[in-house]
A and B are shown apart, each in its own frame.
Chain A
Amino acid sequence: MSLNLLIAGFGGQGVLFMGKVAAYTAMVEDKYVSWLPSYGPEMRGGTANCSVCIDDKEIGCPLISEPETLVVLNRPSYDKYVNAVLPGGHIFIDSTLIDVTCERKDIHVHYVPCTQMAQDSGMKQLANVVMLGNVLKETGFTTFDVLCKAMEQCVPPKKKDLLEPNLKALKLGYEYQG
Chain B
Amino acid sequence: MGQKYLMKGNEAIAEAAIRAGCKHFFGYPITPQTEVAAYMAKQMPKIGGTYLQAESEVAAINMVLGAAAAGVRAMTSSSSPGISLKTEGISYIAGSDLPCVIINVMRGSPGLGGIQPSQADYWQATRALGHGDFQVIVFAPSSVQEIVDLLGKAFDLAEKYRMPAMMLADGMLGQMMEPVEFPETEPKMAEKPWAVTGHNNERPHNIINSLYLTPSDLEEIVVNRFKRYDEVKKNEVMYEAYQTDDAEYGVVAYGATARVVKSAVNQARAKGIKVGLLRPITVWPFPEKEVAAFGNQVKKILCVEMSMGQMIDDVKLAVNGSCPVEFYGRTGGVVPSPAEVLKAIEEMAK
* A interface with B by C-beta (< 8 Å): 20, 23-24, 26-27, 30, 32-37, 39-41, 58-63, 65-66
| Contact for A26 among B171, B179, B266, B338, CB less than 8 A | B179
In the complex, A37 Cα to B115 Cα: how many Å? 13
Tell me the chain B residues, 296-340 only, with Cβ under 8 Å from chain A: 335, 337-339
A60 touches B6 (CB 8 A): no
| Contact for B31 among A27, A36, A39, CB less than 8 A | A39
Number of cross-chain contacts by CB at 8 Å: 61
User: In the complex, what residue of chain B is closest to A60 when comparing beta carbons?
Assistant: B263
Chain B residues near A37 (CB, 8 Å)?
175-176
User: In the complex, what residue of chain B is closest to A51 when comparing beta carbons?
Assistant: B176
Distance (Å) between the CB of B79 and the closest chain A CB? 12
Contacts A40-B115, A61-B259 hold; do A35 and B6 have CB atoms under 8 A apart?
yes
Chain A residues near B31 (CB, 8 Å)?
39
In the complex, A80 Cα to B338 Cα: how many Å? 20
B335 touches A63 (CB 8 A): yes
B259 touches A33 (CB 8 A): no
Contacts A36-B175, A65-B337 hold; do A24 and B263 have CB atoms under 8 A apart?
no
In the complex, A177 Cα to B2 Cα: how many Å? 42
> Which bracket fits the contact residues of B?
20 to 34
In the complex, A60 Cα to B256 Cα: how many Å? 9
In the complex, A21 Cα to B234 Cα: how many Å? 46
B266 touches A60 (CB 8 A): yes
In the complex, A53 Cα to B266 Cα: how many Å? 17
A40 touches B259 (CB 8 A): no
| Contact for B259 among A23, A30, A59, CB less than 8 A | A59
B285 interface residue per 8 A CB criterion: no
Contacts A39-B32, A60-B259, A62-B259 hold; do A34 and B177 have CB atoms under 8 A apart?
yes
Distance (Å) between the CB of B119 and the closest chain A CB? 14
Distance (Å) between the CB of A177 and the closest chain B CB? 32
In the complex, A33 Cα to B116 Cα: how many Å? 21
B4 touches A27 (CB 8 A): yes
* B interface with A by C-beta (< 8 Å): 4, 6, 31-32, 115-116, 171-172, 175-179, 259-260, 262-264, 266, 335, 337-339
29 contacts between A and B (CB under 8 A): A23-B177, A24-B6, A26-B179, A27-B179, A30-B4, A32-B179, A33-B178, A34-B177, A34-B178, A35-B178, A36-B172, A36-B175, A36-B177, A37-B175, A59-B178, A60-B260, A60-B263, A60-B264, A60-B266, A61-B259, A61-B260, A61-B335, A61-B338, A62-B176, A62-B259, A63-B335, A63-B337, A65-B337, A66-B337
A32, A36, A39, A61 interface centre (most CB from chain B within 10 Å): A61
Chain B residues near A62 (CB, 8 Å)?
172, 176, 178, 259
In the complex, A140 Cα to B295 Cα: how many Å? 46
User: In the complex, what residue of chain A is closest to B173 when comparing beta carbons?
Assistant: A62
Chain B residues near A20 (CB, 8 Å)?
177
A33 touches B171 (CB 8 A): no
Distance (Å) between the CB of B248 and the closest chain A CB? 21
User: In the complex, what residue of chain A is closest to B263 when comparing beta carbons?
Assistant: A60
In the complex, A17 Cα to B178 Cα: how many Å? 15
| Contact for B6 among A27, A63, A65, CB less than 8 A | A27
Distance (Å) between the CB of A98 and the closest chain B CB? 26
Distance (Å) between the CB of B306 and the closest chain A CB? 12
| Contact for B176 among A24, A30, A34, A41, CB less than 8 A | A34
User: In the complex, what residue of chain B is closest to A64 when comparing beta carbons?
Assistant: B337
Contacts A27-B179, A35-B6 hold; do A40 and B172 have CB atoms under 8 A apart?
no
Chain B residues near A40 (CB, 8 Å)?
115-116
In the complex, A24 Cα to B260 Cα: how many Å? 23
In the complex, A66 Cα to B342 Cα: how many Å? 15
Chain B residues near A39 (CB, 8 Å)?
31-32, 115, 171, 175
A63 touches B179 (CB 8 A): no
In the complex, A66 Cα to B338 Cα: how many Å? 10
A63 touches B175 (CB 8 A): no
